[in-house]
A and B are shown apart, each in its own frame.
Chain A
Amino acid sequence: MAEGLHDSDIPNPVLRWVDQRLPILSMVQREYGTFPTPRNFNYFWNFGALAMINLVIMIATGVILSMQYAANTGLAFDSVERIMRDVNYGWLLRYAHANGASMFFIVVYMHIWRNLYYGSYKTPRELLFMIGVVIFILMMATAFMGYVLPWGQMSFWGATVITNLFSAIPVVGQHIVTWLWGGFSVDNPTLNRFFSLHYLLPFVITGVVFLHIAALHIVGSNNPLGIEPKGPKDTIPFHPYYTSKDSVGIIVYLLVFAVIVFFMPNYLGHPDNYIPANPLVTPAHIVPEWYFLPFYAILRAVPNKLGGVAMMGGALVILFFLPWLDSSPVRSMRFRPIAKWAFLLFSVNFLVLGWVGGKPAEQPYILIAQICAAYYFAYFLVILPLLAKFERPLPLPESISASVLKHRGGGPLPAGATAKPMEKA
């Protein structure tokens, strides 16, 4: 790049002076203003923006909560109750933060669902997708450690169960667990380090989110048709079209969030977490937060501890290989008559896994979990690779704009009729 001042076209002289020296305004204009975006996004494409908003809400509420929270086994539970009672709007901050975690997982599960349905993980977006999986795993770690902080019964026993999973590793397992705990049981050192990491990881997530967005802006967005934009008539500038469409989604998201925070703030939690942690009393059922239940079900489906841990880890790691397991060149499930049903079944299967994950580990739930876990892996390892070979996809539309206009009832268009949709925009 040439040295010297950046060639800025910002009209305001002061902003231009800044932009010539640090072209951050030009960058925003390029990446979020005129950025050419496929014109046919449906509302599923809101969830990326919603996840970003959610991350900001979590960091903002979390930073303020941490000013009042005490990461000490003798004080943690009481300090949370103090936040609820004596800190101005502390109840609002805490309920927004606790339920914000649930909202974050709803949003991210939807974001992943959209990715899988419309084949966004396929070339050239493989790395973009893999970075997304890294964010998802970091989120799970952050949420798990956050749930430990109030130091209630589920905090303590959840931490005990999950950290103990590492003891399944042969030879060094028990040493790893002791190292994670900072002692010989979940105790004050564990709580201290979980608080430290719970504060650190969101900023790591923020960094990885920037990589995710940077990669997105290199390869561009996928769209519901799964075909690449072929020219300017297939795209529209991000602003004002998708800024306005994302805004609609944000309001709906905030409405759902508000209903949960203001009217059912403890619905997604567990009553046992309002009992202070007690290492001598084990709760009747130790259940993780709802967003871990599908993976928890896979863990418990395997009778062998190491096997269960490996399967649960594998359920996440397999996502990194998805771009190569599914080698069909057709992205969108709209044009894949068989894969579409296999995937919808996969979605239902995932919900059933979540349901059995919340049930006690007894029959018939174990059998259901085993069948569902088998389908989870079969979808990735057997069904997608086979369908890529044998499925006959439906014909793809010739372009995004042709498909959009046909949908509106205009019939087939003479070539060039929509040549410059941007002229008046």
Chain B
Amino acid sequence: MRRYATTLKAAALAAALALAPAGAWAQGHDEIHLPDTKFSFEGVFGTFDRASAQRGFQVYKEVCSACHAMRHLSYRHLRGIGFNEAQVAALASQFQVQDGPNDNGEMFERPARASDHFRRPFPNDAAARAANNGALPPDLTVMVKAREGGADYLHALLIGYEEPPPGVTVANGMHYNKYFPGHQIAMPPPLNSEGQVTYADGTKATVDQMSQDVSTFLAWAAEPELEQRRSMGVRMIIYLAILGGLVFAVKKKIWARLHQTEPAP
């Protein structure tokens, strides 16, 4: 038995070796506690709430997209949050995109098709900075994966604007946000009043609701494969567990041959 105890101890050490340092990164130096939001896509079996993601797209389209691009998304990708082909075509056609050059060598505008990338608010980064007091609104496609805390952080950020505490001076053109690292953010509060968007499904558009919806949409945009990935993972683990049982039984049976040839204890 001593032999197995050693083996186990060492295996535990190895597991710690593998995971401890990575976990250690997760703590930022600045102690900010994010409120833990209950999102539909959390947990092993969580899926994106389609209605919420669609409302979130509406928030993005009517509010965020004034400044933030999502350059890795095409309109056709919206099928992933439950829009059908006709709805996607109709959504896309609301936007004018540049195409060309045509036979005369000129660029021209046309309504977007499902295959087009999301229209960008600015032609280039310099234009984006010029329009935003020198700050560059980041692309939002993978924002949920690019921040500690993911969707929880985005939701917290969107509802985290408040008056600066006494003694704190906010620089010109900046805004105080209790969840932003350093607390001074260039983005003015984007969701600032109830009913800022009108939801077609009758959901009350509170700031918190809009923020949750757009966070859900952005979580989907960052990981559109999430549902497929997890369901494949569950099947993979069931398969490996069964196969592992069989392989272990085979190993036992083979090694039993070795034991037969020795005197019984």
Against A, the Cβ 8 Å flags (1 = close, 0 = not) of B211-247 are: 0000000000010110001101110110011011001
Selected from A81, A82, A91, A420, the residue in CB contact (under 8 A) with B142 is: A81
* A359 proximity list for chain B (CB < 8 A): 24
* B13 proximity list for chain A (CB < 8 A): 113, 347-348, 351
* Minimal beta-carbon separation of B134 from chain A (angstroms): 13
Q: In this assembly, does B130 line the interface, its C-beta being within 8 Å of a C-beta of chain A? A: no
Contact yes or no, A255 B237, CB < 8 A: yes
Q: Interface size of A by Cβ–Cβ distance < 8 Å? A: 76
* B21 proximity list for chain A (CB < 8 A): 290, 293, 354-355, 357-358
Contact yes or no, B20 A354, CB < 8 A: yes
* B257 proximity list for chain A (CB < 8 A): 424-425
Selected from A43, A251, A259, the residue in CB contact (under 8 A) with B7 is: A43
Contact yes or no, B10 A245, CB < 8 A: no
Contact yes or no, A274 B20, CB < 8 A: no
Contact yes or no, B44 A271, CB < 8 A: no
Contact yes or no, B258 A425, CB < 8 A: yes
Question: Residue on B with the closest CB to A420?
Answer: B261
Against A, the Cβ 8 Å flags (1 = close, 0 = not) of B1-29 are: 00100110010011011101110110001
* A85 proximity list for chain B (CB < 8 A): 72, 77, 224-225
Contact yes or no, A248 B147, CB < 8 A: no
Q: With A43-B7, A255-B237, A271-B145 in contact, do A240 and B254 touch (Cβ < 8 Å)?
A: yes
Q: With A254-B240, A351-B13, A351-B17 in contact, do A417 and B233 touch (Cβ < 8 Å)?
A: no
Which of A109, A262, A266, A407 counts the most B-chain CB atoms under 10 A from its CB?
A262
A-B contact pairs, 19 of them (CB 8 A): A85-B72, A91-B229, A105-B18, A106-B14, A109-B18, A244-B254, A247-B251, A254-B240, A258-B236, A258-B237, A261-B233, A263-B233, A267-B22, A355-B21, A408-B259, A418-B261, A422-B261, A424-B260, A425-B261
Which of B17, B181, B234 counts the most A-chain CB atoms under 10 A from its CB?
B17
* Minimal beta-carbon separation of B14 from chain A (angstroms): 5
* A360 proximity list for chain B (CB < 8 A): 29
* Minimal beta-carbon separation of A412 from chain B (angstroms): 12
Measured between alpha carbons, how far is A270 from B147 in the docked complex, in Å? 9
Q: With A44-B7, A85-B77 in contact, do A248 and B244 touch (Cβ < 8 Å)?
A: yes
Q: In this assembly, does B250 line the interface, its C-beta being within 8 Å of a C-beta of chain A? A: yes
Contact yes or no, B244 A354, CB < 8 A: no
Against A, the Cβ 8 Å flags (1 = close, 0 = not) of B129-172 are: 00000000011011001111000000000000000000000000
Question: Residue on A with the closest CB to B251?
Answer: A244
Q: In this assembly, does A275 line the interface, its C-beta being within 8 Å of a C-beta of chain B? A: yes
* B250 proximity list for chain A (CB < 8 A): 244, 247
Measured between alpha carbons, how far is A424 from B260 in the docked complex, in Å? 9
* Minimal beta-carbon separation of A162 from chain B (angstroms): 17
Q: In this assembly, does A42 line the interface, its C-beta being within 8 Å of a C-beta of chain B? A: yes
Measured between alpha carbons, how far is A5 from B44 in the docked complex, in Å? 60
* B243 proximity list for chain A (CB < 8 A): 251
- Residues of A at the B interface (CB closer than 8 Å) are 39, 42-44, 78, 81-82, 84-85, 91-92, 95, 102, 105-106, 109-110, 113, 117, 224, 236, 240-241, 244-245, 247-248, 251-252, 254-255, 258-259, 261-263, 265-268, 270-272, 274-276, 284-285, 287, 290, 293, 334, 347-348, 350-351, 354-355, 357-360, 405, 407-410, 413, 417-418, 420-425
Selected from A270, A407, A408, the residue in CB contact (under 8 A) with B25 is: A270
* B244 proximity list for chain A (CB < 8 A): 248, 251-252, 255
* Minimal beta-carbon separation of A14 from chain B (angstroms): 29
* B254 proximity list for chain A (CB < 8 A): 240-241, 244
Question: Residue on B with the closest CB to A82?
Answer: B72
* A413 proximity list for chain B (CB < 8 A): 263
* A247 proximity list for chain B (CB < 8 A): 247, 250-251
Main secondary structure on chain A at its contact with chain B? helix
Contact yes or no, B16 A351, CB < 8 A: yes
* B181 proximity list for chain A (CB < 8 A): 284
Range, interface on chain B = 35 or more
Main secondary structure on chain B at its contact with chain A? helix
Q: With A84-B225, A91-B225, A421-B258 in contact, do A410 and B17 touch (Cβ < 8 Å)?
A: no
* A106 proximity list for chain B (CB < 8 A): 14, 17-18
* A267 proximity list for chain B (CB < 8 A): 22
Measured between alpha carbons, how far is A247 from B237 in the docked complex, in Å? 16
Selected from B17, B147, B248, B261, the residue in CB contact (under 8 A) with A271 is: B147
* Minimal beta-carbon separation of B71 from chain A (angstroms): 8
Given contacts A268-B22, A409-B265, 8 further A-B contacts (CB under 8 A): A42-B7, A44-B10, A85-B72, A85-B224, A262-B232, A410-B263, A421-B261, A421-B262
Q: With A81-B141, A272-B146, A274-B142 in contact, do A258 and B29 touch (Cβ < 8 Å)?
A: no
Contact yes or no, B17 A258, CB < 8 A: no
* B232 proximity list for chain A (CB < 8 A): 92, 262
* A91 proximity list for chain B (CB < 8 A): 225, 229
Contact yes or no, A262 B233, CB < 8 A: yes
Measured between alpha carbons, how far is A110 from B7 in the docked complex, in Å? 11
Measured between alpha carbons, how far is A247 from B246 in the docked complex, in Å? 10
Question: Residue on A with the closest CB to B228?
Answer: A91
Measured between alpha carbons, how far is A258 from B236 in the docked complex, in Å? 7
Selected from A259, A271, A408, the residue in CB contact (under 8 A) with B237 is: A259
Contact yes or no, B258 A355, CB < 8 A: no
Q: With A355-B24, A417-B263 in contact, do A262 and B10 touch (Cβ < 8 Å)?
A: no
Question: Residue on B with the closest CB to A425?
Answer: B257
Measured between alpha carbons, how far is A82 from B71 in the docked complex, in Å? 11
* A420 proximity list for chain B (CB < 8 A): 261
Contact yes or no, A358 B24, CB < 8 A: yes
